Amino acid sequence: MNFLLLSLIKAGIVAGVLLTTLAYLQWIERKVIAHIQLRVGPRRVGPHGLLQPLADVIKLLTKEDMLPSHVNKFFYFLAPFIAVMFALISISVVPFGPEINVFGIQTYMQLTDLNIGVLFILGMSGMGVYGIALAGWASNNKYSLMGGLRSSAQMISYELPMAMAIAAPLLILNSLSFRELVNGQGAYYFGFIPNWSIFHGPFPQIFSFIIFLIAAFAETNRVPFDLPEAENELVAGFHTEYSSMKFASFFMAEYANMITVSCVATLLFLGGWHPPFPAEYGSKFIPTIIFAIGGLTCFYHAANPARRLDKFTLPVFGVVFLVIAAVFMLPIAGKILLPFFWFASKVGAILFLYIWVRGTLPRFRYDQLMRFAWTVLFPVAIVNLFVTGLAVALESK
């Protein structure tokens, strides 16, 4: 099968899955935050609010697209385009699984494997700053400008500890290509402790992981570091003057960045698609068990409905879950679906952490944010990198 056609098909699949995930991440976020705050969240559109993302997209597409009279038109239109393009492009180097064989075609579950993959993602996230900075400047509005300035200062500051935290596991795994990084984390200590970076000898990268996560929250402008769009001081920050689809593209860029950062954390620190314990001890049955329990829970709650409609909707979900559980038992699924399941569940766990933090932590003050980056996070990252380098050098002696 020729390379171009195969790449096109893979790009289509990845783009489709990514955009669907983007839309539903928003739904999941609203649901989780609602449950943290003891509400039920979106429920009106479709069963359990499942069609809410579709309704949101239609609303955003059909809204009136305002063009303020005082903006710099060229950069005003360019900014959302830059933001969303550099947010989406990073996914092309992320591997979702190992080499697979579909209908006799050998291929990797990845669009392309660059031998500078990690640097590529760093570069793209650096270019993404322009979208936000330009949006703030071109809007010609003091709140927008403040938001844009804050965001570029914050992203420059947090890029340093982030790069340092990324460099530490690279020293141990000795590669810049994501596929090789994940392959280097495949083994097990004593047969059951996974060889992921956060447990990897000679110096476990747990500190790098924490530094990376903190810096990632700041890089993606998320609570508690969402100063660029702090609504109580800056209206909406850099996207105050944007409406309709242009507003939606900033929204999309933020969620795409969240997904990319979670993927990078998974690949660098959590062993990518490798299961947390070996297949001999039954890790291949975990997805089946989880989905089966999910299905049975649905049936249980359908039998004791909390709301009137639950009697009819929950059995449907139960059947869907049981079918997925059965699919995971098929032998072909083991090759393709299992690695993807582990990858997706790790990414999902980090995304859940994002939402959880948003539901729990208040926002920092801006001076606290900058002081934390330069006087705490950066020195800790340097010490961590130094110790890792020392441990690697001593081990190789």
111 binds other proteins (CB under 8 A): no
**Choice between 62 and 174, CB closer to other proteins:** 174
154 binds other proteins (CB under 8 A): no
**Among 9, 60, 85, 119, which residue sits at the site for other proteins (rule: CB under 8 A)?**
119
Residue range at the interface with other proteins (CB under 8 A); choices 26-34, 100-108, 151-159, 310-318: 151-159
Helix axes 378-396, 142-173, angle to 10 degrees: 10
Ramachandran assignment for 237, one of left (phi > 0), alpha (psi -120 to 50 degrees), beta (any other) = left
Residue range at the interface with other proteins (CB under 8 A); choices 58-66, 116-124, 206-214, 313-321: 116-124
**Among 145, 234, 252, 347, which residue sits at the site for other proteins (rule: CB under 8 A)?**
145
Residue range at the interface with other proteins (CB under 8 A); choices 50-58, 62-70, 123-131, 343-351: 123-131
**Choice between 176 and 236, CB closer to other proteins:** 176
CB of 381 to other proteins, least distance (A): 16
Q: Per DSSP, what are the bridge partners of residue 106?
A: 101
Amino acid at 237: G
378 binds other proteins (CB under 8 A): no
162 binds other proteins (CB under 8 A): no
Q: Per DSSP, what are the bridge partners of residue 188?
A: 194
One symbol per residue from 165 to 204: x for binding other proteins (CB under 8 A), - otherwise; what is it? Answer: -----------x----------------------------
**Among 139, 152, 208, 384, which residue sits at the site for other proteins (rule: CB under 8 A)?**
152
Number of residues that bind other proteins (CB under 8 A): 25
Q: Per DSSP, what are the bridge partners of residue 160?
A: none
CB of 122 to other proteins, least distance (A): 5
CA atoms within 13 A on the CB side of 101: 5
Per DSSP, the residues of 178-216 read HHHHHHTT--EETTTEE--GGG-SSS-THHHHHHHHHHH
Q: How far apart are CA 100 and CA 320, in angstroms?
A: 26
139 binds other proteins (CB under 8 A): no
Q: How far apart are CA 94 and CA 267, in angstroms?
A: 8
One symbol per residue from 74 to 93: x for binding other proteins (CB under 8 A), - otherwise; what is it? Answer: -x------------------
CA neighbor of 108 nearest in space, from 16, 10, 20: 10
Q: How far apart are CA 254 and CA 147, in angstroms?
A: 15
**Choice between 168 and 270, CB closer to other proteins:** 168
**Choice between 148 and 194, CB closer to other proteins:** 148
**Among 101, 112, 115, 368, which residue sits at the site for other proteins (rule: CB under 8 A)?**
115
Amino acid at 156: I
Per DSSP, the residues of 106-117 read EEEESS---TTH
120 binds other proteins (CB under 8 A): yes
**Choice between 20 and 115, CB closer to other proteins:** 115
Q: Within 10 A of 125 (CB to CB), how many other CB atoms are there?
A: 22
159 binds other proteins (CB under 8 A): yes
CB of 356 to other proteins, least distance (A): 30
Burial class (CB in 10 A: 0-12, 13-18, 19+), 278: middle
**Choice between 145 and 259, CB closer to other proteins:** 145
**Among 133, 267, 333, 351, which residue sits at the site for other proteins (rule: CB under 8 A)?**
133
CB of 142 to other proteins, least distance (A): 10
Per DSSP, the residues of 282-350 read TGGGHHHHHHHHHHHHHHHHHHS-SSTTHHHHHHHHHHHHHHHHHHHHSHHHHHHHHHHHHHHHHHHHH
328-349 in b/e form (b: 16+ CB < 10 A) is beeeebeebbbbbbbbbbbbee
**Among 47, 126, 186, 278, which residue sits at the site for other proteins (rule: CB under 8 A)?**
126
For other proteins, the binding residues in 309-368 under the rule CB under 8 A are none
- Contact at 8 Å (CB) between 22 and 53? no
Which positions touch other proteins (CB under 8 A)? Answer: 75, 114-116, 119-120, 122-123, 126-127, 129-130, 133-134, 136-137, 145, 148-149, 152-153, 155-156, 159, 176
